[in-house]
Structure 1
């Protein structure tokens, strides 16, 4: 049974589900920062997924990155799986712009997170609703 790591649950907002991954939004309005978490039990490394799930994760990641690049007008997309703090396998997909608060450095630890306001969350969800339709299920809210 899939359970989301408590740190991810605390730091993110639920957007919905792809066939394999749960899509989360990092609760930091400084960046459009998304996280994909494969809905598989006790997986901390890519190689622990079977071949089909590895391919699905990569397809969902690249599809999301391409969609976000266009929807949020990115200068660069940052895609990474680190897991040094949260061991549960998760893929960061971050929209970067030259004028963002941390450019060109990594976003981690640059400043305290600036929580999204409800209207900002609604705007992100609406932007995604326009581009994520096929095989994506939005969470209520």
Structure 2
């Protein structure tokens, strides 16, 4: 039987946040932006059309929830989010996933996209702890399997 697993690229570039109804929510490990990646737990899904209608609706609900968590991260770090960006690219990592990114007019890539904008900046350990806590509070404090 085929089993869902998270693509290695996500394991390398993000931290676990929560297991939601459909998705694994992960904090992108780039301190330049509050950024959550949602990965639907559906084996082999590469495009949104690979999800059933109910899963597509659930994914949209989780994007909205992740947006609230992204805003909470920005506030916790003293950089309130001015604009939310949500996108599904998959050009580099083909596993179906959605990005929810908090933007500010003074961020490193504004007004362009965050993808390909310089090198990722690691979180300071204290800021990482604050970001994870703020997001998990919004996402319901759902327990996450350790990595």
Task: State the TM-score, normalizing by the size of structure 2.
Answer: 0.87
The Cα RMSD (Å) is 1.6
How far is 1:74 from its partner? 1.4
Once residues 138 and 121 of structure 1 are traced to their aligned partners in structure 2, the CA distance between those partners, rounded to angstroms, is: 17
Once residues 44 and 4 of structure 2 are traced to their aligned partners in structure 1, the CA distance between those partners, rounded to angstroms, is: 8
- Alignment of structure 1 residues 1-141 onto 2, 5 Å: 1-69=3-71, 72=74, 73-133=80-140, 137-139=142-144
Question: Is contact 2:35–2:99 with CA below 8 Å preserved after alignment?
Answer: yes
Cα 1:139–1:116 change in 2 (3 A) is: same
How far is 1:129 from its partner? 3.5
Unaligned runs of 5+ residues in structure 1 are: none
How far is 1:71 from its partner? 5.2
Unaligned runs of 5+ residues in structure 2 are: 75-79
Aligned length: 139
Once residues 69 and 122 of structure 1 are traced to their aligned partners in structure 2, the CA distance between those partners, rounded to angstroms, is: 16
Runs of 4+ aligned structure 1 residues displaced above 3 Å come to none
Question: Is contact 2:23–2:39 with CA below 8 Å preserved after alignment?
Answer: yes
Question: Is contact 1:80–1:92 with CA below 8 Å preserved after alignment?
Answer: yes
Once residues 101 and 20 of structure 2 are traced to their aligned partners in structure 1, the CA distance between those partners, rounded to angstroms, is: 17
How far is 1:90 from its partner? 0.3
How far is 1:122 from its partner? 0.7
- Over residues 61-95 of structure 1, what are the superposed CA-to-partner deviations in whole Å (9 max), with x where a residue is unaligned? 11221443365221110100000011000000000
Task: State the TM-score, normalizing by the size of structure 1.
Answer: 0.90
Cα 1:46–1:140 change in 2 (3 A) is: closer
